[in-house]
Amino acid sequence: MKKIILLTILFTASLLFSQNRINLQILNSNNIHLALQNIGKLGAIPVAFGGGVWKILSFDSTIVYDHGPWIIGKIDNKVHLSISQWGTNYSPGPIINNKAAMQYKPEDSLKYRIYKISKGDNTTNKDYAEWPFEFGAPKTKDGKPKLYQDQSLWCTYNAMFPSVKKQIPSFTDSLPIMPLEIHQLVYAKKGNSKDEVDLFSNTVFFEWTIINKGTLPIDSAYFSFWTDIDFDMATANFPAVDTTNNLGYMWSNKTKPQPAIGYTLLFGPAVPAYKKKAVFKGQLRNDFANLNVTSFQAIYDDYPYLAGVDRPSFSRTEAWNIVRGFYPSGKAKVDSSNNSVTKFSYSGDPVTNSGWLWGYGNSGGGAGFNLSSGPFNLAPNDTQWVMMALVPALGKDYKESITIMRNKVKLLKTLPYDSLAFGRKAVMVGVEKGKIIPTEISLEQNYPNPFNPETVISYSIPKSEHVTLMVYNLLGKEVATLVDEFKQAGNYKVRFNVETLHAASLSSGIYFYRLTTPTTIVAKKMMLVK
C-alpha cells in the first residue's frame, strides 16, 4: 500500500503540470483509500501506478478502478451530456464570465486544484490557508473552512471547456459544451475498525452541488453515477440493484471471502412535491421531495461486441436511453424472472437466490453499472444537490458480505444529515420558515453507549398503536425482543440488559435496535463492550 501511494504522488506531480492542470489527492482517513481528481474522475490511477488506491477491511486490494458523475438533459430540445466514463469532458475550476476557468484565466490554474483538510488543521496546511471560498467552498459561520467528518476533499469543475468536449474513449460523437459548474465534496470519518465495531471506518460520502450557469433551462435532466468496479477476480464481478435501499452493488461467488461493493443514493435530486419535505444541502425544504433511484444499467464490459445489451454508452443517444431505464439501444428491459418490463437490470436477491440475477458465468474487466435518478429541471442559475455513499462490506462469503452491506445502508438511512456529515445529532430546520420540524415518532440514542451490561432506550409515539422494539446483530438476526404490544401515545423507556434477557452470550460489537409501528420503522445502532 505504501508503494502504491508513493507512485500515486509521483503520478500526481506529472499531472499537475499537464496542459489542463489535472491534479489528484488521496482521501485516506479510514480503511478506504480513494484517489480523487479535479476533473470529475473519482479514481482510475493508471494500472502502471497500482490501479485505484483502495483498502477495505482486511481485503487489502483495489476494489474500484474508476467512477464518476454524469449530468444529462435537454437544452433547447437537444441532449447535452457531462460525463465521467474512463475519460471525462470536465475541466478544472469554476465557470467565470460564461467561460471555463481554464479558458478564461489559465494562469490561475493552480487554484483549481483539489483542496484537502483534516481535523486539527490550521493555516500551516496550504489547502486550509488557501481554501477557495470565492469558488463556493463550504465555510463555517465564522468564515473558516468547513470540515465534514474528519477529512474533507473539495474541488469544482465544469463542462464548458471546448478542447475537452470529446475525451471519452470509444464515444462516437462529440459532446457540446454544457454550462454546468459542479462542486464536489468527498469526506470520511477517521477509523480503521471492522464493520461490527465502527460503521464509518468503511464508508465514504459524496456530495455534488450542480449549478446551471447558462442562460437557458436544462429540462428532463438526470443525475447518474457510473462505476467500473474491480475487486479480486475483475472478470467475475456481478452487478445487481436493491431498489428498496437505492443501492447499486457488485458481488461475486467465485472465491472466498468476497466483498460486496455498493453505492447508495442517500438524497437524490429535489423536485417539487406538494406537502412533502426534501433534504437539500443539509436542510429541509418544504413542498419538495428527494427522488429515488429511477433506473439501473448493468455493465458486462467496456467492449460492445462482448457486452451485448449489458454495456456502457458510446454516444449521447445511448446515454440518454440508459438514464431513462432502457438498454443503450433504446430497447425496453424485461425481467427474466417474471417477464415484466422494468427499468432495473438484475433486481433479484443473490442472498436468497430469487428474482432476476446475473446469468453469465463471468464478466469483463470493465464490469460495473449506472445508477440514475431523475428527471428534474434546472433553470438558469438554479442549483441541484445529490448525496451518495460508498458502502463496501466483507463477510465470510458473498451472502454475508451482501447482508452486512445492506444493513449498513439501512442504518445510514436512519441517520439525519448532520449525523452523516458531522458525526453529531442535529435538529433539521426548514429552509423557508426556519422552524423546527417535529417528527411524528422518535427513537432516541441509547444511554449509556457503549454499554455493559445494561443500557436504556427511549422512544415516543404520537398515537396509540401496536409497537415492537427489537435488537438485531449486524447480520440482521434478532437477538432480543424488548417490546411487542399495544401502547398508548406517550414517552417510554426500556432497559436492555444482556444478562437478565439471557443474552449473555452476545459478543462485543455493534447491534441495531429497531422501533416498528404499523406505519413507521426507525432504527439506530448501539455498541456492547465486554
Q: How far apart are CA 475 and CA 418, in angstroms?
A: 26
Using a pLDDT cut of 70, give the percent of the chain over it: 87
Predicted confidence (pLDDT) at residue 316 exceeds the cutoff of 90: yes
Using a pLDDT cut of 90, give the percent of the chain over it: 55
Q: How far apart are CA 442 and CA 424, in angstroms?
A: 17
φ/ψ of 490, rounded to 5, equals 155, -170
Average pLDDT along the chain: 85
Q: How far apart are CA 309 and CA 193, in angstroms?
A: 40
424 Cβ neighbours under 8 A, 6+ residues apart: 418
Computed over its alpha carbons, how large is the radius of gyration of the chain? Answer: 23
C-alpha separations of 115 from 126, 242, 312 in Å: 9, 34, 31
407 Cβ neighbours under 8 A, 6+ residues apart: 472, 474, 475, 476, 512
The DSSP-derived string for 327-362 is -TTSPPEEETTTTEEESBSS-SBTTTTBSS---SS-
Residue holding cell 472478470? Answer: 235
Predicted TM-score (pTM) of the model is 0.80
Q: How far apart are CA 183 and CA 315, in angstroms?
A: 25
pLDDT digits 0-9 by tens, 78-93: 999 999 998 889 999 9
Predicted confidence (pLDDT) at residue 16 exceeds the cutoff of 60: no
Per-residue confidence at 430, pLDDT binned at 50, 70, 90?
very low
Q: What is the mean pLDDT of residues 41-67?
A: 55
Q: What is the mean pLDDT of residues 422-449?
A: 58
pLDDT at 58: 42
Residue holding cell 475487486? Answer: 231
Predicted confidence (pLDDT) at residue 46 exceeds the cutoff of 80: no
The DSSP-derived string for 27-60 is E-SSS--EEEETTS------GGGTSS---BTTB-
Q: What is the mean pLDDT of residues 271-299?
A: 94
SS3 content of the chain, % helix, strand, coil (to 5): 15, 40, 45
The DSSP-derived string for 378-411 is E-TT-EEEEEEEEEEEE-SSHHHHHHHHHHHHHH
Alpha-carbon dihedral 400, 404, 409, 412, rounded to 10 degrees: 180
C-alpha separations of 17 from 10, 14, 92, 128 in Å: 12, 6, 13, 22
Higher-confidence residue: 369 or 257?
369
User: Is omega for the bond preceding 453 within 30 degrees of 0, making it cis?
Assistant: yes
Q: How far apart are CA 525 and CA 511, in angstroms?
A: 6
Per-residue confidence at 432, pLDDT binned at 50, 70, 90?
very low
Give all domains of the chain, ordered by start, each with its CATH number. 2-422 (no CATH), 442-528 (2.60.40.1930)
pLDDT digits 0-9 by tens, 114-169: 999 999 999 999 999 999 999 999 999 999 999 999 999 999 999 998 766 556 77
